[in-house]
Amino acid sequence: MRVVVQRVLEASVAVDEEMVGQIGRGLLLYLAVKDGDGPADTEYLVDKVLGLRIFEDDSGKMNLSLKEVGGALLIVSQFTLYGDCRRGRRPSFSMAAPPEAANRLYQSFVERCRQHRITVRTGVFRETMRIRSINDGPVTLLLDSSKSF
């Protein structure tokens, strides 16, 4: 699994001009599932995302987690994070999990985050979405459950 983490002041997602998810201060997550990923990948990334100390404390140092600042999550599925552009001009998405498997792990990731009593909003799996965000910092991190970067 891969996650792009963006610290935001606010973020929202719309489908067909209808707002389906919106948060204030928190993290915007773009989540992709690789073919062969499983529950261990979900657990690793939920733990990692929720434990990231990327919010500033009173001294201005990134030392606080999402929970510590009372932030929210907006989680959007984005299989294109597994786009392979090394050959040619058209990305290959062969590493991405099939939709059914990807949706199962995406929903599991969302549920595991909610179990931590954090406000969680989502996009709509397999829909074309419009995402708006006001990045804070900016702070953007890339996480991968296979620890390839």
**What CATH number is attached to the domain comprising 87?**
3.50.80.10
Number of domains present in the structure of the chain: 1
> Whose CA is closest to 127, among 26, 14, 27, 51?
14
Q: pTM of the entire structure?
A: 0.96
pLDDT digits (tens, 9 = 90+) for 51-95: 999 999 999 999 999 999 999 999 999 999 999 999 999 999 999
Active-site pick, 6, 79, 109, 122 = 79
> How many other C-beta atoms are found inside a 10 Å radius of the C-beta of residue 91?
13
Question: Does residue 78 carry a catalytic annotation?
Answer: yes
Residue 130 placed within a domain: yes
Q: Please give the residue range of the domain that contains residue 106.
A: 2-144
> For the chain, what is the radius of gyration of the CA atoms?
15
In the predicted model, is pLDDT for residue 148 greater than 90? no
pLDDT digits (tens, 9 = 90+) for 102-138: 999 999 999 999 999 999 999 999 999 999 999 999 9
Question: Does residue 79 carry a catalytic annotation?
Answer: yes
Question: Does residue 42 carry a catalytic annotation?
Answer: no
Active-site pick, 6, 42, 78, 122 = 78
Residue 149 placed within a domain: no
Residue 87 placed within a domain: yes
Q: For helices 99-114 and 39-51, what crossing angle results, to 10°? A: 40
